[in-house]
Chain A
Amino acid sequence: DGGITQSPKYLFRKEGQNVTLSCEQNLNHDAMYWYRQDPGQGLRLIYYSQIVNDFQKGDIAEGYSVSREKKESFPLTVTSAQKNPTAFYLCASSIDRDALGSGNTIYFGEGSWLTVV
């Protein structure tokens, strides 16, 4: 089936550790995105990538890093520099690389819960 797959669904991290969230899509979409969701705050953009080997910071990029070595993959690393990483993380993609302002629909994965213990 076509779609966006995120793993793991639940992840626990000790303070000071880096963790990587996986995101894979088989929709042949050009653009991919990472959002963070906190209760009562909606979705905030962390990073996005419009083409392979290129990515841009979103509103809350500090403490996060990404790579886009393949069109279908866009992993997110939550580093120890991220002071409050406990949140729900959503990966998304769109067929158009300019989707953020062009009106093309963004499609989402099922998300990953990250908890710092």
Chain B
Amino acid sequence: AQKVTQAQTEISVVEKEDVTLDCVYETRDTTYYLFWYKQPPSGELVFLIRRNSFDEQNEISGRYSWNFQKSTSSFNFTITASQVVDSAVYFCALSSNNDMRFGAGTRLTVKP
């Protein structure tokens, strides 16, 4: 069975600090896809990134970066120089073999 673990339930940082959200996944499939979504207080899940299992290159988008390591089955998300607007719940998800699993989410609070 597929599984996504986000061990950090809540994280609190002060503005401008860097913060890393951890995501560990389990799957027996060789082809799979990993996602990160952001859920602001409004409730909608906002798509941030998708990676496939054959592309381990790290990706950077502005203050956001993602570190995909198949050796440790991890897909961690780093926010550099955090801002108050980054406060939200962040979900990691795994998709393969007609199934999609979400982690329990990490609530990030960025204080001014």
Residues of A within 8 A of B (CB): 40-43, 45, 88, 90, 92, 98-103, 105-111
Contacts and interface: CB of A to CB of B under 8 A. Distances in A.
Given A103-B52, A111-B43, A98 B104 contact: no
Q: Main secondary structure on chain B at its contact with chain A?
A: strand
A85 B100 CA distance: 22
A109 B42 CA distance: 10
7 contacts: A42-B4, A42-B103, A43-B45, A100-B99, A101-B98, A102-B33, A103-B50
B50 A88 contact: no
Closest 5 CB pairs of A and B: A103-B33, A111-B43, A101-B98, A108-B45, A42-B102
A110 B41 CA distance: 10
Contact of B100 (A100, A109, A110): A100
Interface of B: 4, 9, 32-33, 35, 37, 42-47, 50, 52, 91, 95-100, 102-105
Contacts of B52: 103
Nearest to A113: B43
A57 to B, nearest CB: 13
B95 A40 contact: no
A33 B83 CA distance: 32
Contacts of A106: 47, 100
Contacts of A102: 33, 95
B5 to A, nearest CB: 10
A110 B47 contact: no
Contact of B44 (A41, A42, A105, A111): A111
Contacts of B95: 99-103
B40 to A, nearest CB: 10
Nearest to A110: B44
